Each structure stands twice: as C-alpha cells, then as structure tokens.
C-alpha cells in the first residue's frame, strides 16, 4: 500500500488523466464488443488492451522490470489484434465472408499474452535498456500498423461509404492518425535518443552522450505531440466507440 | 357418312382410345367375322368391312366429305386412335351378302353419282340391274332423306332408310323418297362374294407396324410437349426467382448500401442461387447469413426491419412459385 501511495504521489495529472481516459475508452470498447459481430470483438478487445498497456503508470509493481516489459508487450499485442480485426472487416467488404467465433478471439489473445508472459519469466530480467528496446519495438509496430490501418480503413470506407456505419470509420481514421502522431513522436524521440528513458537511465548508466542539447525545439515539439496526441487518442477512441454504439443501436 | 344397317351388334360404344387396333383386327380376323366395324370420332368416321375374317375395305370419311381408302384410311385411323381419347367403336355382324352390298356402297364401282331421278327412267334402270344380275346398292336421296336398296344377283336383298336400324322388307319408304322433288340416285356395284373373298387388306397392310410407328411418334410428341411445358415452367420459375433476387437486393441495399447487393449475391450463390430459397432450410440459412453480415453494418432496429421485409418477400415468392 505504501508503495502504491508512493507511486501515486509521483504521478502527474497528465498520467492520471490519460489512464482514466484510456480506462473509459477500454470500458466503452469492451462494452461495444458484447452482443456485436465477431469482427468487432478483435477491434474492441485490441483497444481494451491499450488501456491495460497504459495502466503501467498506476501499477504499484511497475518497478519489477519483467512486469514493466509485459505492459509493452500487451501494447504490441493490442495493435496486432486491432489490425487483425480491421483486416477481417476489409476481407468481409471484399468477399462478404465472415467466419470464426468470439471465444476463439478471446482465447487466442489470452494465449499470446500467456506465451509472452512465459517468455519473460523464463528469460533473464530485462535491463532498463532492454525494456527501452521493447518499448521502441512496440512503438515501431504501432507506427507501421497505424499507417496500414489508415489505408485499410480508407478502403473499407470506399466499400461501405453509403451505409450507416461508414462515418464511424472516418472516426477510426482520425483515431489512427492520432495514434500515428502519439506513437510516431515517441519513436522519433527514441530513435534519436532524445527520450526520457535514455536521458534519465541509459545516459546515466553509460558513457554515451546524446545530442539533445542541439535540437531543443524538435525535442520539445515531439514531447508535446506525444503528450497531447496520447490524450486526444484516448478521448477519440472512447468517442468513436460511443459513436459506433449509437450508429449500430 | 352413310347410315348403315346395324344388323347384329357385337360391341357398341367401346372407347376407341383404350383399344389397340392390331388386337381388334386380330380378334375380328381370327374369329372369321363378317360385317363391319365403325370407328366414330368427333369429325370423322372410319368403316372397316370384313368378309369371313378378311378385311375387304376401309373407308375414312370426314364430316366435310373428304375421303380416304385403303392404306391411307388405315393410317389415319391408327393416328386417330393413338391421339384421340374421344372415339367409339361399334361392331355389327351382317350376312355375307349384305356385307358385300356395304362394300359396294363404300368402295364399289360408281355407275351413277348424284343423278336426278326425274331425268332417269327408273323402271329401265331396275330392269337393267335385274338383267345384269348386279351386286350392289342403289341409294335414293334428297337433301333431307335417304334410302338404300341392296341387290344380289339383281334381286333386292332388303331396304334400309334413315331412322331404321336394320334391313326392312318393305319398299314403301324408298318409293316415298323417290317421289320427293329433287330426289337423286347413286348406283354402286361390286364383285360377287367369292371375288371379294380374294381380297384381304390385312395381308397387305402391316397394322402392327403402323400402330407401333404411330405410338412412337405420339410418344415423342408427348415427350416433346412435356419437355416444352417443363422448359416453359422452368423459365417462368427462373423469371420469378430472378425477380425475387432483385427484390432481395433492393431491400438489402436500401439498408446496407451498395455492399448489400454483393452480400445477397454471395449468399445466394452459397444457397445454389435463388432456387435454394424455395425450401425452408435454404431460406432460413440465407436470412441468418444476411443478418450476420448486417450486424457489421447497421443497428439492431434496422436489422429487424430489414429481416421482416426479406421474410415477407420470400414467403410471398414461395407461395407464387
């Protein structure tokens, strides 16, 4: 409890707001998946997993490196599940084929997370540098798959633009644009070693020096984009699912 | 067709459509039948004259007066029996002499045809018949009445006139018609019974073959008609199914947008096209699939409304087809 209070005291308002907003978005997306078509299950579950990946900010055991690494793995699984959902929706638009069961989606996702957990357990405790690498891989996957999802959503929208739900896909397009900015700016900072992890942990532990002082404007701008795009993304995800819920009511 | 004396009726009003001509011919032939068989159809009559089981003449006559004899007459009779369900068969036994006279009437040599009686010295004609020992038939008639006198070796065998069923011995009716204004005569002669016995059309005409050929042609026509009808019905059903498919597409497109057409097409293809909707299992499967796809595109309220309309259209189409 003391640990939790200590961590909670270290949290800034931004972190708390972001986690709360992601919590609302996760709840909304999870609620949306109940009673809807199976294809929505992948998309909703993926967005719900983002909440779990973001919850590391308030996780009292986050100082355990393996748990910290698991948060980032959940984030990676989240975007993969979301992409799988949109890919299935796109396949449906082209072939009108729907297959599979909801329970398979839930169980497969759980299985992947379990295997990832086992992978972390049977391997040595990751160093801060390793955790940063995992985080960078997660961001890279998010950026790549966001661009891919934007293209998939564009194609889905073209196929169903005269149906009721088409405007919902415009909202999803906005969501992925926000995600692209959010994760892209983080990746940008990581690639040039301008991220907080590097500055506060790696740089202190090694002799390596970054050139952060030469580009303060770029760093500040990227940090601002990362911070606000993260907030806007969580709001847009919650809003999009609420909007979709109303469209499909 | 002339009215003929009925003599001794063996069969009357047998349904010709249920009989097989080769079998009828065989029975009459092997039974040594003497007399005539008449096949009466709606627009024609065919008379077959037998002498001791030998078919001596066949005459086919339509109500408009068209006549055929021999092979042609037999072929037409076979065709009528195979194709028509309304004809009747009457078989009358007559004496050999009278049968000979009937043959003369039907297919004998025509000595006088539609000769006005007032222009003929009837007494001289009757004397000539007697003196020539003629076999045949003298027909006296007006537009409304008719009488026949049958002769053998120049002597009258008997008299037959409208309204009677059999040969009479009195000549009073014949004389009465002869006295009417506009009366005419036909005189037909034939060979004697012995000469007639030399003729047997059954030896010349292969009735079984004609019958089999007619049956085969008739069967092929029935098959063709049946096939044509089936094709027409099939086309009509296909047309209705095509209309149903279009109706389904319009309804689904109305709710789901243009993607609806593709969804309907795909689901119908999986059902084996719109024909698959004709059975309950197929239509239920189709509706379930459409509903599942619709869940990805529209809300529950709209899905319910769409499904109700689709069910109504399919039910209506099922009752029509």
Which tens digits make up the pLDDT trace of B249-295? 999 999 999 899 999 999 888 877 777 777 888 888 899 999 988 88
Which segment of A207-216, A231-240, B11-20 scores lowest on mean pLDDT? A207-216
Query: Under 8 Å CB-to-CB from B274, ≥6 apart: which residues?
Result: B241, B242, B244, B245, B248, B268
Which segment of A170-184, A190-204, B47-61 scores lowest on mean pLDDT? A190-204
Q: Has residue A5 got a pLDDT over 80?
A: no
d(CA A83, CA A2): 39
What is the end-to-end Cα distance of chain A in Å, rounded? 43
Query: How distant, in Å, are the alpha carbons of A115, B119, B141, B145, B147 from that of B181?
Result: 124, 12, 10, 11, 15
Residues in chain A whose Cβ is within 8 Å of chain B = 36-37, 39-40, 89, 92-93, 95-98, 159-166, 247-249
pLDDT for the residue numbered B263: 92
Look at strands B184-190 and B155-161 and give their pairing. Answer: unpaired
d(CA A99, CA B289): 11
Task: Tell me if B54 sits within 8 A of B29, measured CB to CB.
Answer: yes
| Confidence category of residue B198, pLDDT binned at 50, 70, 90 | low
CB contact under 8 A, B299 and A39: no
Among the partner residues B266, B295, B301, nearest to A37 by beta-carbon distance: B295
- SS3 for A19? helix
Residue of B nearest to A85 (CA): B296
CB contact under 8 A, B302 and A164: yes
Residue A126 carries which DSSP code?
Answer: P
CB contact under 8 A, B293 and A40: no
A104: how many CB neighbours lie within 10 A of its CB? 12
CA torsion through residues B199, B200, B205, B210, sign:
positive
- Report, as an integer, the average pLDDT of A174-200: 92
Residue of B nearest to A167 (CA): B297
pLDDT for the residue numbered B194: 63
Which segment of A92-96, A202-206, A215-219 scores lowest on mean pLDDT? A202-206
Higher pLDDT, residue B174 or B165:
B174
Residue B17 carries which DSSP code?
Answer: G
- SS3 for B150? strand
Task: Tell me if A53 sits within 8 A of A92, measured CB to CB.
Answer: no
Residue of A nearest to B300 (CA): A249
- SS3 for B145? coil
CB-neighbour burial class of residue B309 (10 A; exposed 0-12, middle 13-18, buried 19+): middle
pLDDT for the residue numbered A204: 76
pLDDT for the residue numbered B132: 87
Residue of B nearest to A163 (CA): B257
pLDDT for the residue numbered A179: 94
Residue pairs between chains A and B whose CB atoms are closer than 8 Å: 51
CA-nearest of B64, B70, B63, B11 to B35 is B11
- Report, as an integer, the average pLDDT of B47-73: 88
Which segment of A135-139, A245-249, B97-101, B136-140 scores lowest on mean pLDDT? B97-101
pLDDT for the residue numbered A14: 75
Q: Within an 8 Å CB–CB cutoff, is residue B256 touching chain A?
A: yes
Q: Has residue A246 got a pLDDT over 60?
A: yes
| Confidence category of residue B154, pLDDT binned at 50, 70, 90 | confident
Share of chain B above pLDDT 90, in %: 23
pLDDT for the residue numbered A223: 93
Higher pLDDT, residue B249 or B193:
B249
Mutate to test the interface with B, among A41, A93, A96 (most CBs of B within 10 A): A96
pLDDT for the residue numbered A219: 93
Tokens of A142: 């998010």
Among the partner residues B258, B266, B299, nearest to A248 by beta-carbon distance: B299
CB-neighbour burial class of residue B122 (10 A; exposed 0-12, middle 13-18, buried 19+): middle
CB contact under 8 A, B295 and A161: no
Higher pLDDT, residue A160 or B194:
A160
Query: Under 8 Å CB-to-CB from A60, ≥6 apart: which residues?
Result: A3, A4, A7
pLDDT for the residue numbered A248: 78
- Report, as an integer, the average pLDDT of A74-85: 93
Mutate to test the interface with A, among B259, B269, B303, B305 (most CBs of A within 10 A): B259
Q: Within an 8 Å CB–CB cutoff, is residue B125 touching chain A?
A: no
Predicted complex: ipTM over 0.85: no
| Confidence category of residue A2, pLDDT binned at 50, 70, 90 | low
| Confidence category of residue B193, pLDDT binned at 50, 70, 90 | low
CA-nearest of B11, B21, B8 to B202 is B21
CA distance B281 to chain A (A): 20
Q: Has residue A207 got a pLDDT over 80?
A: no
Mutate to test the interface with A, among B254, B297, B304, B306 (most CBs of A within 10 A): B297
Share of chain B above pLDDT 70, in %: 94
d(CA B74, CA B80): 10
Q: Has residue B246 got a pLDDT over 80?
A: yes
Which segment of B182-186, B219-223, B268-272 scores lowest on mean pLDDT? B268-272
- Rounding to the nearest 10 degrees, give the CA dihedral for residues B123, B128, B130, B133: -160
């Amino acid at each position: 409890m003391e640990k939790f209070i200590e961590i909670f005291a270290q949290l800034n308002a931004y972190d708390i707001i972001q986690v709360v907003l992601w919590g609302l978005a996760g709840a909304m997306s999870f609620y949306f998946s109940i009673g809807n078509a199976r294809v929505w299950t992948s998309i909703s579950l993926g967005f719900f997993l983002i909440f779990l990946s973001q919850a590391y900010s308030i996780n009292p055991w986050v100082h355990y490196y393996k748990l910290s690494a698991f948060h980032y793995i959940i984030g990676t699984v989240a975007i993969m599940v979301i992409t799988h959902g949109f890919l299935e929706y796109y396949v449906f638009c082209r072939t009108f084929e729907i297959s599979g069961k909801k329970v398979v989606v839930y169980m497969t996702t759980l299985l992947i997370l379990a295997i990832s957990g086992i992978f972390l357990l049977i391997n040595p405790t990751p160093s801060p540098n390793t955790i940063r690498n995992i985080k960078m891989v997660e961001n890279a996957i998010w950026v790549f798959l966001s661009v891919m999802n934007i293209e998939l959503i564009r194609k889905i929208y073209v196929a169903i633009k005269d149906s009721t739900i088409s405007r919902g896909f415009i909202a999803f397009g906005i969501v992925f644009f926000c995600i692209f900015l959010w994760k892209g700016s983080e990746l940008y900072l990581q690639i040039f070693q301008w991220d907080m992890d590097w500055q506060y942990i790696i740089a202190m532990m090694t002799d390596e020096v970054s050139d952060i002082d030469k580009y303060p404007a770029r760093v500040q701008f990227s940090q601002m984009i990362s911070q606000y795009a993260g907030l806007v993304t969580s709001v847009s995800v919650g809003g999009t699912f609420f909007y979709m819920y109303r469209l499909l009511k | 067709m002339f009215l003929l004396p009925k003599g001794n009726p063996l069969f009357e009003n047998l349904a010709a459509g249920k009989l097989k001509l080769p079998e009828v011919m065989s029975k009459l032939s092997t039974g040594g039948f003497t007399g005539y068989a008449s096949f009466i159809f709606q627009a024609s009559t065919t008379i077959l004259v037998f002498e001791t089981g030998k078919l001596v003449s066949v005459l086919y006559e339509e109500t408009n007066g068209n006549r055929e004899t021999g092979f042609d007459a037999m072929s037409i009779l076979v065709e009528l029996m195979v194709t028509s369900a309304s004809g009747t068969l009457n078989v009358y036994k007559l004496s050999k002499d009278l049968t000979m006279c009937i043959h003369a009437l039907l297919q004998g040599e025509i000595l006088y045809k539609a000769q006005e009686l007032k222009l003929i010295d009837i007494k001289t004609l009757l004397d000539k018949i007697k003196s020539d020992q003629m076999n045949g038939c003298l027909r006296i008639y007006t537009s409304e009445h008719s009488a026949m006198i049958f002769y053998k070796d120049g002597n009258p065998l008997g008299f037959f006139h409208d309204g009677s069923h059999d040969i009479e011995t009195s000549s009073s009716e014949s004389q009465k018609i002869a006295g009417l204004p506009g009366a005419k005569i036909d005189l037909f002669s034939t060979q004697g019974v012995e000469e007639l016995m030399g003729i047997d059309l059954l030896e010349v005409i292969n009735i079984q073959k004609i019958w089999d050929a007619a049956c085969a042609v008739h069967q092929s026509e029935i098959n063709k008609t049946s096939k044509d009808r089936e094709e027409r019905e099939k086309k009509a059903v296909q047309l209705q199914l095509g209309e149903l498919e279009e109706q389904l597409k319009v309804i689904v497109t109305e709710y789901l947008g243009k993607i609806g057409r593709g969804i309907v097409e795909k689901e119908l293809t999986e059902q084996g096209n719109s024909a698959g909707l004709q059975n309950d299992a197929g239509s239920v499967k189709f509706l379930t699939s459409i509903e599942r796809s619709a869940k990805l595109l529209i809300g529950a309220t709209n899905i319910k409304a769409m499904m109700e309309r689709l069910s109504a259209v399919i039910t209506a189409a099922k009752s029509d087809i």
